[in-house]
Structure 1
Amino acid sequence: MDTEKISSESLILLLAQMHKLRLEHGHDCITGTYPKSPKVERLLAESGFFHTLGVRSRKMPGRKLSATRFVKCKSDVEIRSQCIPELRDELLGEDLQMPKPIGKMVFRALSEAMQNVHHHAYQKKQITRLGLKGRWWLGAQLSKRKNFFELTFYDAGVGIPKTLHRKYPLEHIRSILSLLPGMEPDDAQMIKAAVELGRSRTNQSHRGKGLLDIHRLITTVGVGALTIFSRYGQYRYEPLKGGEAIRNDGAFIEGTLIKWELPLDKVVAAFADMDETDDEDL
Structure 2
Amino acid sequence: MKAGKNTEFIRRKEGKMPRIKSYLDFSGVEYISTAGAVIIASEYQKVKEITGKIPPAVNLDLWSKEAFDTLFGIGFFEAVGLASDGSHHVYQSSNSKILKVISVGRRDDIKLPLIGRYISELYEFIHPGTSVPKEVVRETLTSISEGITNTLHHAYDDPDADYSPEEKIWITASADRSDGSLTIVLLDHGRGIPVTYPKLELKEIVTLAVERLTKNSGGVGKDAAYIAAAMRYGRSQTMEPQRGKGLPQMRSLIRRLNHGGSMTVRSNAGWWHRPERGPIRMGNWPESLEGTLIEWTIRLPRELV
TM-score (structure 2 length as normaliser): 0.75
Secondary structure class of the residue paired with 2:212 = coil
Residue 47 of structure 1 and its aligned partner are, at CA, apart by 2.1
Q: How many residues align?
A: 260
1:84-121 Cα shifts (integer Å, max 9, x gaps): 11111111127853624333222111111111122110
- 2:173 matches 1:143: no
CA distance in 2, matches of 1:228, 1:52: 24
1:1-282 matches, within 5 Å, as: 1-26=27-52, 28-33=53-58, 34=60, 36=62, 37-56=64-83, 65-93=93-121, 97=125, 99=132, 100-122=134-156, 123-126=158-161, 128-132=162-166, 134-168=167-201, 173-179=206-212, 186-198=222-234, 205-223=241-259, 224-238=261-275, 240-242=277-279, 244-264=280-300, 266=301, 269=303, 271=304
Residue 124 of structure 1 and its aligned partner are, at CA, apart by 2.7
Structure 2 CA distance for partners of 1:119 and 1:65, relative to 1, 3 Å? closer
The letter of the residue matching 2:112 is: I
Q: Is the 8 A contact 1:45 1:57 kept in 2?
A: no
Larger-Rg structure: 2
- Structure 1 unpaired stretches of 5+: 59-63, 273-282
Relative contact order higher in (CA < 8 Å, ≥ 6 apart): 1
Structure number with the higher helix fraction is 1
After the TM superposition, which segments of 4 or more aligned residues of structure 1 sit over 3 Å from their partners? Answer: 94-98, 168-174, 180-185, 199-204
In the other structure, the counterpart of 2:88 is none
The letter of the residue matching 2:78 is: H
TM-score (structure 1 length as normaliser): 0.80
Residue 7 of structure 1 and its aligned partner are, at CA, apart by 1.1
1:153-174 Cα shifts (integer Å, max 9, x gaps): 0000011000012114697644
The RMSD of aligned alpha carbons is: 3.1
